[in-house]
Amino acid sequence: SDSHFPVPVSPHHVEYSLHYPHFYPSSDSQSNPKKIEFADVGCGFGGLLISLATLFPETLMVGMELRDKVTEYVKERILALRVTNPGQYQNVSVVRTNSMKYIPNYFEKAQLSKMFFLFPDPHFKEKNHRRRVISPFLLDEYAYVIRPSGIIYTITDVEELGEWMKSCLENHPLFEALTDEELEADPVVKLLSSATEEGQKVSRNGGLTFIAVFRRIVPAV
Ligand code: SAM
């Protein structure tokens, strides 16, 4: 249950010096204005973050994962990469948490420039749709923590869930879809299936994927 993992009471209480000691050599998080900018929600074994860490070496990023053992695995994976690649992978970390409850404890308003929801659990039954990580209610929360022009990336191999995520985003007043040209030009889009463990599994089995990528907008007044 939730009582088994600590939750920061506010984004100011996130322990940056523990997660990113290279960027925060002192435990005083005020010593560095750099904040986490990318969040991979339900990061699983962390493949996407590992790819992003070297693509954006100056950007702090975090994986959020509910399963204890999986989170420990990702932690070990990152520590091992730091040892074998001195100076690299200092910008990536992972927390064990329930993202559906605690996003506002980790991120301030307009802090994030990218959020990832890659191959989330489908929760097929209608009565379980409220457990889906993309929903009208949770999108309000994500719109709060994503900055204007920030991007939300989703991918799934479950067509019905793909339609659901896309329609939630289309119907939300604070998000607009990227154009085909923008999707083509964004190097991160290619990683959604190639860098994630789930994506690799789907492509080995020749399965289809459904992508929805939307930008946080500021509505005209
Ligand atoms: N994104 C990874 C990938 O593409 O390889 C993992 C996908 S896996 C199917 C979904 C992951 O989301 C699981 O590791 C699960 O433990 C995690 N998860 C489910 N609900 C969650 C929640 N409320 N908060 C954080 N993680 C969650």
pLDDT tens, residue order, the chain (221 aa): 455 789 999 999 999 999 999 999 876 666 678 999 999 999 999 999 999 999 999 999 999 999 999 999 999 999 999 999 999 999 999 999 999 999 999 999 999 999 999 999 999 888 888 899 999 999 999 999 999 999 999 999 999 999 999 999 999 999 999 999 999 999 999 999 999 999 999 999 999 999 999 999 987 77
73 lines ligand 1 (CB under 6 A): no
Q: Which of 2, 40, 68, 121 is catalytic?
A: 121
Quote the CA–CA distance of 188 and 211 in Å, as a whole number: 12
Beta bridge mates, 211: 155
pTM of the entire predicted model = 0.96
State the closest ligand 1 atom to the C-alpha of 100, by its place in the atom list counted from 1.
23
24 with 16: CB under 8 angstroms?
yes
174 with 143: CB under 8 angstroms?
yes
Known binding residue 196? Answer is yes
Quick check: is 121 catalytic? yes
Quote the CA–CA distance of 177 and 170 in Å, as a whole number: 7
Please, what CATH class does the domain formed by 2-216 belong to?
Answer: alpha beta
Structure tokens at 180: 């085909």
Ligand 1 atom 15 nearest Cα: 42
